[in-house]
Structure 1
Amino acid sequence: MSSPSPAYSPSTAHLDLGDGFFDPVEAAHFPAHTLRYRNQRWAERIGLGGLTDDQWIAHFGRFQPLPENIPQPVALRYHGHQFRSYNPEIGDGRGFLFAQARDGEGRLLDLATKGSGQTPYSRFGDGRLTLKGGVREVLATAMLEAFGVYTSKSFSLIETGEALQRQDEPSPTRSSVLVRLSHSHVRFGTFQRLLAENDQARIAQLVGHCVRHYHPQAARGGDVALEAPALLEAVAKAAGAMVAEWMLAGFVHGVLNTDNMVVTGESFDYGPWRFLPHYEPGFTAAYFDQTGLYAYGRQPGAVAWNFERFAECLTLVAPVADLETALKTYGPAFNERLRRMATGRLGVMAKDEAADEELLAAFFQFLHHSKAPFERTIFDWHGGAGRRDFAIAGPSAAHYQGEAFDRFFAALAAHEPIGVTPEAEVYFSGPAPATLTIDEVEKLWAPIAEADDWSLFTAKLAHIDQARLAFGLHPAR
C-alpha cells in the first residue's frame, strides 16, 4: 500500500489481549489469485478504497500486512455449543484475524478471513473455502445489509486455483478465500473457553476489552463486578435487535451455535442459510438440522439460549443476581426492534406501540394464512395502503383477500407512509423485488460453474444494491 488514505486508521487492539487468546499462523500459499469481488463502498469507509487490484490481492489474497497493522495473522481461540453440545475442540480452523481499523465513527472493525488455510484448530479440515461458499456469503451479506440487518460485510472474494473435495457439492470444486469486515470477532465461545478453564483473570480482562472497544456505555470505572452486568445488558439489547432484524428479513441463519454469536450483536458466519420463500415457522436452512433446532420460528429462542450461556461465563466475575437482571433485557429489546423493523420494512411511520404491535401481528397472521411470497408482500405494500392499486395489479393479487388480509390492510391504513426517495421510487415501481431463494442462488451459480459467466451474479448484486438504497434502513447500533 503505497500511500494510505487519510481515512485509514489502523489498529492492533486485539493483540493487547495477549497470546492466551490467539495463536500466530501463516496464510496458505495459493496457486492463483483471481479477484472476483471487492467491496469498494466499505473499502472507502475504512480508507482502503484507493488500492489497485494488484495491491488488493497482495493484502487480501497473499495477506501481506497492512501498514502499521497486525504484523502476522492470528487464529482466535474459542469453544462453543454446537447444536447444544459443548465442543472444546474448535477455534479458527480455516480463518484468522489479520488487520483492524477504525471507521469514520471511530468504531473498531476487524478484517478476518474464511478459507485462508490450516491453523492449530483445523482438526482434519483443509482450511479452504469453496468458491460457491464464498459467492453465497457475498450474496447473503449484501441482502441482509439491504434489509437493515446488522451484519458482517463481505469485503473481498478471491478465487485461488485449487480443486477441493466436498461432500455437500459436486467435486472437485473451485476454491476461494473470503475476507470479512466485522465489528468484532469476540464470540460467546471466546468467553466459554475461559469459563471451561476457570480463568477468572482473563474473563475480567476480556470484559474490560469489550467494554472499552465495543460497549463503552457499560464502563463503570474498571470495576469488573459492575461492568460485567452492564456489558451483559448491552449484549442482550444488541442480540435481541439482531434476531428481530432476521425475522423481518425472512432470514434463517442455519447454524446458531454459540461460536457464531459475537458480543456486538452482529450477524455473521454464513454457511447454510436461506431466505423464506413464504412464511413458514418450521423452515430450516441446514440439511443436517433434522430436529429443526434452528428453524426460522425458533431463532429468537435459540439466540436467547446462547445468550444465557454467555451470561454463565460472567458468573466468575459478577454477582448472579445482577446478571439475572441484565438477562431480562433481551426480550424487550427483541420486541422493540421487531416493531421498528416492521414499520421500516413496510415503509410506514412508526405510530404508537399498540398500532405498531397490531401491524406486526396482522402482517405475520396474513403471511401465515395466505402463504403469500414473503418479500413480494413487503414490496407490494411498501408505503402502506396507498399501494393497493399497484399490489392488486401484480402477480400476488390473488393472495390479497380474506379476513387475514383485511386485518393487515386496516393496520397498514392506520399508518402514514414514509417519504419517498428517488431511489425508492425507482425500485418500488419496478417489476419485482430483490429476492434470494435457494433456487435463485443455484440459477446464478450454474453459469459460473459451467462457463465462468458472472453476469447473473453481478446483476443480482446490482438489484440488491437498488433495494438497499430504496429501503434506506440502518441498524440501531
Structure 2
Amino acid sequence: MPVSPNYVPDPRLPALGGDFADPVRAADFPELRLRWRNTRAAASVGLDDLTAQEWSAHFGRFEPLPGNLEAPLAQRYHGHQFRVYNPDLGDGRGFTFAQLREAGSSRLLDLATKGSGVTPWSRSGDGRLTLKGGVREVLAAGMLEALGVPTSRAFSLLETGEALVRQDEPSPTRSAVLVRLSHSHIRYGTFQRPAALERPDLVRKLVDYTLDLYFPGRMGEADPGAALLDEACRGAARLTAAWMAAGFVHGVLNTDNMNITGESFDYGPYRFLPHSDPNFVAAYFDHAGLYSFGRQPEAVFWNLRQLAGCFLMAGSPEDALVEVLNGFGDLYREALARAVVRRLGLSFQGDGSDARLVSAAFGALSAGGAEIRWEPFFFDWFCGDEARALAGPRGEVYRRPMFEDFRREVAAAEPDRPERLDHPYFRREAPTELLIDRIEAIWAPISGADDWAIFYSAMSEIEEARTAWGLQPG
C-alpha cells in the first residue's frame, strides 16, 4: 500500500505482554461490502489514500498495516455490569488491530474492531456484529462528535454476508464488521482484572504503561496510582458533562464500557432525549433505571470508586485516593457549566454567572416539558440570539413566564463566535436530531430494500451540523 507521510505506526500494546492481551485471527467472512468509510478520520491517521481493495484487505480481512501489529490482540479485562462483578469478560468480538499517531497532535490512537470473530473471551457468543448494530454505532459516533462529546469515531463498516440469529431483533439478520478509531481501549475493567487476580505487580505495570502513553506529564510522581486516578476523574467529568449537555443516554455504563482517557465508545442501546426527563432510560433491560439520564453522573462516580480500589491494592494510600475522588463533584460541576455554555454558543466566564445560566437552562428545559425538545432548544438559543429564538417556530413557548429566568441569564451572557450563526444550518427551522424513531426510519429501507440513501443523507446532515456548531470535544 502507498504510505502517506501522515501514517505513523506506533504499536505499543505488545509491550504489556500476554497477561493483558492475546493474539487472535479475524474471521474469514463470506463477502465484504463497504458501507461506510470515514474519510476525514482516515486522513487524520494517513490512511485516506487506500484504494477500495486495500481498505477491504485491512479493515475486512485485517491484513496488518505496514509497521504495525503483526497480529490482532484481544484484550483481557473484567468489569462490573449493572454493579455485579463479572470476571468472565474480555474482547469477545473485537480486538486491537493497529496503533498509530494522529496527524497534528501526535496522540496515540487505536484502531479496534467490533464483530471481527471469536476470541478466547467470546464465551458462548459468535463474535459477530449485526449490520443494524454497526449502523447505529456509526450514527451515534457521528452525532456525538458533532455535539462536542469526546467519542470514538466510526472508521469503517463492512457488511460481511452472514446471517445472524439474535434474541432481541428479527432473525436471521445481516452481519457486519466495524472498526473504530479511539484514543485508548484501556478500560477501568482492564485494571480490575489483575486486581481481582491479586496481582499488584500487574496493576502497577498497567499504571506505568498508561501514564507513559497517555499522561506523560504525570510520570515520576510519588503516587502513580493517585495521579492516574486524578486524570481518569478529569476525563470522566468532561465526558459525563458532555453527555448531559447533549441529552445523551449511554445505556450501559458498566466499568468495562469506560476507558481511562475519557472517550465515549461501544454504543449499544443508547438514546438521545426527546425532551427533558431525568428518568429516561436507554436500555429496555434497565428496569431499575440505574443508568437513566439523570443518574449518569452517579454511575460514573461509582465506576471511578471501583477503579480507585485497584490502585489501593497496588499500594496507593487510601487517603490520597479518597482526596482525588472527593474532587470529582467540583470537576463535574465545572465541566457541566462549560459544556452547557459551549452548547449554547456562549463564552464561559468562570464565575457564578455560568452556574446560574446552566441552572436556568435546565429549569427551562424541564418547564417546557414535551413542548420543547432537547436539541431544538440549544439550536434556537445558539449564541444567545433572543430575537432569532422568539421569531422561530417555538418562539411562543419561549415568551411564557417560565422562561423568564433563562432569558435574563442569556441576555447577560457574551456570545462566542457569533459568526457561526451565518452558517446555512441555522437558517433551518429545526436542527438535525437522532431520536429513536429516526434511527428506525434510517434502518427500515436498508433492511427492506438494501436502500442506503437515507443513511447517507443522515450522515451528510450530521456532518453539516458538526461544521455549523464548531464544537471541540471536551
TM interval, short-chain normalised: over 0.9
Matches within 5 A, 1:409-428: 409-421=407-419, 425-428=423-426
How far apart are 1:328 and its partner, in Å?
Answer: 2.0
SS state at 1:29 partner: coil
1:154 and 1:309 map into 2 onto residues whose CA distance is 29
1:55 and 1:298 map into 2 onto residues whose CA distance is 44
The aligned residue for residue 396 of structure 1 is 394
The aligned residue for residue 225 of structure 2 is 228
Does residue 29 (structure 1) correspond to residue 28 (structure 2)? The answer is yes
Letter of the aligned partner of 2:173 in structure 1? T
SS state at 1:383 partner: helix
SS state at 2:459 partner: helix
Does residue 204 (structure 1) correspond to residue 204 (structure 2)? The answer is yes
Matches within 5 A, 1:219-368: 219-220=219-220, 226-315=223-312, 316-368=314-366
Does residue 139 (structure 1) correspond to residue 139 (structure 2)? The answer is yes
How far apart are 1:404 and its partner, in Å?
Answer: 2.6
2:85 and 2:350 map into 1 onto residues whose CA distance is 43
The aligned residue for residue 77 of structure 2 is 78
Matches within 5 A, 1:442-461: 442-461=440-459
1:387 and 1:463 map into 2 onto residues whose CA distance is 25
Pick aligned residue for 2:469 from 460, 468, 471 = 471
SS state at 1:201 partner: helix
1:421 and 1:406 map into 2 onto residues whose CA distance is 26
User: CA 1:288/1:176 → structure 2, altered by over 3 Å: closer, same or farther?
Assistant: same
1:173 and 1:393 map into 2 onto residues whose CA distance is 46
Residue correspondences, number: 470
The aligned residue for residue 4 of structure 2 is 5
User: CA 1:424/1:197 → structure 2, altered by over 3 Å: closer, same or farther?
Assistant: farther
* Stretch of structure 1 that moved more, 463-472 or 270-279: 463-472
The aligned residue for residue 178 of structure 1 is 178
The aligned residue for residue 90 of structure 1 is 89
1:145-172 residue CA offsets vs partner (Å, 9 max, x unmatched): 0010000110000000111111111111
Matches within 5 A, 1:49-68: 49-68=48-67
1:376 and 1:91 map into 2 onto residues whose CA distance is 39
2:49 and 2:328 map into 1 onto residues whose CA distance is 41
Aligned identity (percent) is 52
2:361 and 2:27 map into 1 onto residues whose CA distance is 49
1:91-127 residue CA offsets vs partner (Å, 9 max, x unmatched): 1010011100011212110000000011111111111
Letter of the aligned partner of 1:120 in structure 2? P
The aligned residue for residue 162 of structure 1 is 162
1:264-311 residue CA offsets vs partner (Å, 9 max, x unmatched): 011111000000000100000000000000000000000000000000
Letter of the aligned partner of 2:321 in structure 1? L
Q: TM-score normalized by structure 2?
A: 0.97
2:169 and 2:82 map into 1 onto residues whose CA distance is 23
User: CA 1:188/1:424 → structure 2, altered by over 3 Å: closer, same or farther?
Assistant: farther
The aligned residue for residue 118 of structure 2 is 118
2:330 and 2:302 map into 1 onto residues whose CA distance is 16
Give the RMSD, CA atoms, in angstroms.
Answer: 1.2
How far apart are 1:322 and its partner, in Å?
Answer: 1.1
How far apart are 1:424 and its partner, in Å?
Answer: 5.1
The aligned residue for residue 213 of structure 2 is 213
1:229-278 residue CA offsets vs partner (Å, 9 max, x unmatched): 11111111110110000000000000000000110011111000000000
1:318-355 residue CA offsets vs partner (Å, 9 max, x unmatched): 11111111112221221111111111111111234211
Letter of the aligned partner of 1:85 in structure 2? V
Q: TM-score normalized by structure 1?
A: 0.97
1:133 and 1:399 map into 2 onto residues whose CA distance is 37
Conserved 8 A contact 1:423-1:466:
no
SS state at 2:55 partner: helix
**What stretches of structure 1 move > 4 A for 4+ residues in a row?**
none
SS state at 1:122 partner: coil
SS state at 1:19 partner: coil
1:11 and 1:146 map into 2 onto residues whose CA distance is 28
Letter of the aligned partner of 2:458 in structure 1? K
1:182 and 1:383 map into 2 onto residues whose CA distance is 30
Conserved 8 A contact 1:424-1:469:
no
Letter of the aligned partner of 1:142 in structure 2? G
Letter of the aligned partner of 1:291 in structure 2? A
User: CA 1:138/1:161 → structure 2, altered by over 3 Å: closer, same or farther?
Assistant: same
Conserved 8 A contact 1:423-1:469:
no
2:423 and 2:23 map into 1 onto residues whose CA distance is 50
